A and B are shown apart, each in its own frame.
Chain A
Amino acid sequence: MSPSGPRATVVIPTQNRRELLERALAGLDRQSCDFDLFEVIVAANACTDDTAAVVSGRRSPYTLRLVDGVEPGASAARNAGAERARGPLVIFLDDDIEPSPGFVAAHLAAHADPHRDGLRVVMGYLPAELQASGDLFAITLRAWWEAMFDVMRDPGHRFAYTNLLSGNCSLPRDAFLAAGGFDVRYRCHEDYELGHRLLKAGAEFVFAERAAGRHRDATRLERASARKRDEGHADVQLAQQHPELRPSLPLSRPRTLRRQIMWWSAFHAPAIGDAAARGAARALPLLERGGARMTWLWLLYLVFGYWYARGVADALPRFSDLAALLDGAEADRRRRDADRFDVPLDEGIDAAARLLDRHRPMAANLSLAGRPFASIPYEAGAEPLAGRHLRSALHRRWYRHYVEALVAAGRPPLPALDNAAPPADSPPHEREQPFGHPRRAYSDATSL
């Protein structure tokens, strides 16, 4: 070990999954960086298999330590591992992820940007495994995972607390411990909860695609449904602990009549609801065989939606408690959204971006020649706005409004656009892009 000690500690929480753990450790054996740079702590919580013996007896090129006898739960294991970490950086790695050779080096590099200081949290990547076979559920699951990382790959992505995934992320140990670590009261979404506290403390989230690990995801529908129920439970805790997050939680989404019935049965007639959800789950393979993929997907969302509602019902005694929990959430969101920072684009995009970088507001109006033409709204649980968000918003959403505002202000960006602003009476559909539908939010589907 180098005299200054390791620069990073990889913390792997595990419980009775010796074979998976060995695969993860073997991946760490193949790291491209110097083995003095990191140490590994396996935090075994309440293991009844021979995990402890295997870790103790293992010969590894890096320092490998075992933290045993931790109280149950991955959060407690991660906290215990971080407390004993000697590296100033903690890298959390799940035991079912096989890190790529550049994994540790990429995490270290992402923290070593000399141009920025302050608390930084680095999210790694779990690339999809390409499989020859695989049923519709496996394919869908993989597509959800990829979609989650796709948004983070955009350099103008506005990070939110839901982007913190505890399976593959890194942050300074001291900041983690000062924040109190993961909240062990959560069944799941403890990473979201920590993410929110870190963002509120001014943390900067970064996505490091090269910090990749192959994820063996063998989740099936039953387990995914149970997980959805846990998520419903956890979201009630989140709403209670951090009321400002309420508008971003699925439980506050407006409900159609069908969903209203689903929620009602989750609270008042769970026996009927459970039977219906199980019946629907059994109908899914029939739809798959008949090739009715979109109907299959719709029904899957419905089944997951029910189990989520069931989880909410687990945490709240009465249906009316849900309404009480959500009381004032929308008004709070509107109040925060109304506080919009004015970003004039008269001096160009770069000047406007610098202005946002200086002020970091939560919501903004974009204007040209004193006339607002676009906005970037407040998002509950998201990071404050920066210049890169402006660039992304102009590119993804407001490009046409921007150019039309330039033309209207007598500053056509191209000679061919003199007087070319579309006549006011032209029907909107002619001006819209053919494939312009916004992508559906993935929050229903994230982190199964």
Chain B
Amino acid sequence: MPAAVLDLELSDAIPDISGLDRYTSAYVVLRLDGIPVGHCWVPVSAGQLDRAVLREGIANAMPALSRRWVERELHHRRPRGGGANPPATVAICTRDRTADLARTLPAAVAAARGRPVLVVDNCPSDDSTRELAGRWPQVRYVREDRPGLNAARNRALRESDTAVVAFTDDDAVPEPEWLEALLGGFDHPMVAAVTGLTLPLELETPAQEWFQRYTPFGRGYFRHEFDPLHCSPHAAGQIGAGANMALRRDAIAVAGVFDEALDAGTPTRSGGDHELFTRVLAHGYRIVYEPAAVSRHRHRRSWEELRDTIYGYGVGVYAMWTGKVVRGDVSVLRQAFRWAVRLQAPALARSVLRRPGASPPDLVLAELKGCLHGPWAWRQSRRRARAIA
């Protein structure tokens, strides 16, 4: 039973929405002046939204909605530390997903508004991505033959010469205001990274719906600043994800580039973005989460892919933590313990007892299996990275 993904602009009266006959529910993104302020799941009957539930959803979005409305009334602009938005490059790291990239690339070019766009093709098996990138004059294509998303990200940082590099995944579709909003986050010399809000592109399959309900990319509808005095570096998971982020190159040069033993394309499968955020915070920089920077992500469609993704998250987190423990940072042990006791064990219990709203057991188990495999994956990955180097 697929769910429709809809946008609702709240500065106008709520229109009648119909023609949703294919769907039994809808994921409605609530916006004010185009900026998301909330979302709600609304049942669909006879192709129409249940208006009472929608109103309730709007009432629940009151905090962020009020904030944006007051900002509009005050003509609020954040005080800027350094004039206009910094110069930027949009980088897309991709690997053999030309069909998805055909949707990402035009959106990225539109959002870039004339700024350079860089496609880093990671270990491609054919020339189709190069051909696709060749269709836009402002898109530069580079090929990175060392496997791994982090190797490709580092290549993007080296290849660009702008102060900021904004990253989007090849399965995401950035909205037209995405880049401006991300760059607006760099309003202080200590801000090293800005992450944005990732919303679903489609929720056509049960796997996509589960992913959206239980591991959403979104981190809420308030701008938030993570700084080393108030945020443990290990809370990097709350900050956002590499699918929607911008980095300041000079700060990354200080904090260190991506760890090439981590993330997709290596045995560790994920975690490369969070590991970088952790280090950025540990060096005293700030990271801003800016929900006005919206990108839409196409979640994995099949249940097997979803399970595999969840497994990969488990592997990545534990691989990243293994690396830290080996380097003498024992505080991650406490973090691992907390995660196990406060979240993983209760989730498993709820799932086994089939409580309402619990995750399917195979997903919970996939994550746990991933965690167990993580340390081993880190070791394998290190060896491989050394062999390539």
Contacts and interface: CB of A to CB of B under 8 A. Distances in A.
Nearest to B9: A416
A40 to B, nearest CB: 28
A293 B220 contact: no
B224 A435 contact: yes
Interface residues of B, number: 50
Interface residues of A, number: 54
Contacts of A292: 330-331, 334
Contacts of B73: 349, 413
A414 to B, nearest CB: 6
Contact of A419 (B55, B79, B220, B284): B55
Interface in A113-161: 127-128, 130-132, 134, 139-140, 142-144, 146-147, 150, 153-155
B65 interface: yes
A33 B328 CA distance: 52
A289 interface: yes
Contacts of B251: 130
B190 A146 contact: yes
Contacts of A150: 188
Nearest to A445: B229
A143 B228 contact: yes
Interface in A378-419: 391, 394-395, 399-400, 402-404, 413-417, 419
Contact of A434 (B76, B222, B329): B222
Q: Which among B12, B74, B188, B328 has the highest number of chain A CB atoms within 10 Å?
A: B74
Interface stretch (B56-64, B148-156, B261-269, B304-312): B56-64
A403 B62 contact: yes
A391 B229 contact: no
B69 A349 contact: no
Contact of B232 (A140, A294, A421, A422): A294
A32 to B, nearest CB: 17
Interface of A: 127-128, 130-132, 134, 139-140, 142-144, 146-147, 150, 153-155, 209, 289-294, 297, 349, 391, 394-395, 399-400, 402-404, 413-417, 419-423, 426, 430-436, 439-440
20 contacts: A130-B251, A140-B229, A143-B227, A143-B229, A143-B284, A209-B81, A292-B331, A297-B229, A349-B73, A394-B70, A395-B71, A414-B11, A417-B58, A422-B59, A422-B60, A431-B60, A433-B220, A434-B219, A436-B222, A439-B230
Q: Which 4 A-B pairs have the closest CB atoms?
A: A291-B329, A139-B284, A403-B66, A291-B331
Given A290-B329, A395-B70, A423-B59, 8 more contacts: A132-B254, A140-B284, A153-B81, A291-B328, A293-B331, A399-B66, A435-B224, A439-B230
